[in-house]
Homo-oligomer: A and B are copies of this chain.
Amino acid sequence: VAAKERNSSTTLNDVARLAGVSLATASRSLNGSDRKVKDELRQRVISAATQLNYTTNLSAQAMKTGTSTAVGLIVGDILDPYFSAIAASAARSAKAAGLTVTMAVTEGDATRELRAIRELRMQRPRVILSAGSLTAPARLREEITAELEAYERAGGRVILIRRADLPFTTLAIDDFGGGRQLAVELVSLGYRRFRILQGPDSGRASRDRCEGFIDGLRGSGIPLPEGAVLETAFTRDGGYDGARRLIDAGIDSGELVFATNDVMAIGAMTALREAGRIVGQDVAVAGFDDIPTLTEVTPGLTTVDVSLTELGSRAMDEALSGGSAGKVIPIPARVVLRESTPRRSDDSQSLGT
């Protein structure tokens, strides 16, 4: 009897009518928390719903109850396995909590991050999880902060991954400590000469890792000569280009290239290989992040594990658990040695220095 107009879903009203009950009863049967509906009616409603292939209208539900089932996820780039790993585990947690994930991409542009936050906010999501992790010029940072504060004021939960300079709950990866530890272990493997491929100066993560690494070298009594740090893009191509520049400038056998993230390290390995260098024998390479999909790379990449596969779900769980906002949660970093940095038996190098 219900008119099937094109372009319009069946509503709860249609279901109620078909089941011969009131709107209220239909609602209670399908979504009601307290079940005070006679079983027979409930069955009628349910079968009417299936018959009409009815689906709750989330917008209407959200508007009425004032709480949506959405969570917003901001990543830099879906193709980057670093972000994929975070997104995958965040999605898992969200699903477990019965929430739906909306994604936004910044492409490494802080302006787009601001825009992403604005767009997500329109959905009134329960959580906004940003792994975009960008350092922005002061003015932009203020706008981002204002936007997120307004969102929190309205009852939303903000959680940031790796960005400790904003006043929101943050999963703070120990970039400095990881870098230092990596340096210490590499020195104890026998390495003495290092090159660093760093991201742009605006990137806090990269800078911290780099500084930690240098600190670790210093602590081991290994000075880092002038010009050993090269600034490049924080991407695969950045690593590739950086390594190319190192090769052109001349890189000796036995040197180790530390790229401040795995994706850069992969790019660097490619460049070295193309130049006929054999990574792991001739030149060593280390990265940072321990991206899971990179375990296939040969030789295996020495890197620093930051619990990437759990980062997203830890963030989501933290946000959903409703603990106090504004916390900084430390995420430890742990060195993972693989074949790209074998133990150096040949010690001639250290004598030469």
Contact = CB atoms under 8 A, between A and B. Distances in A.
Interface of A: 4, 6-10, 53, 55-60, 62-63, 66, 68, 70, 77-79, 81, 84-85, 87-88, 91-92, 95, 100-105, 118-124, 146-147, 150, 153-155, 236, 266-267, 269-270, 273, 292-293, 296-298
Q: In the complex, which of the residues A8, A60, A123 has the most CB atoms of chain B within 10 Å of its own CB atom?
A: A123
Interface centre among A10, A62, A92 (most CB of B within 10 A): A62
Contacts of A150: 10, 53, 55
A292 B78 CA distance: 12
A66 B105 contact: no
B273 A79 contact: no
Contact of A78 (B63, B87, B121): B87
A182 to B, nearest CB: 22
B91 A103 contact: yes
A68 B59 contact: yes
A119 B100 contact: yes
B58 A123 contact: yes
A60 B58 contact: no
B293 A122 contact: no
Contacts of A63: 57, 59-60, 63
B100 A59 contact: no
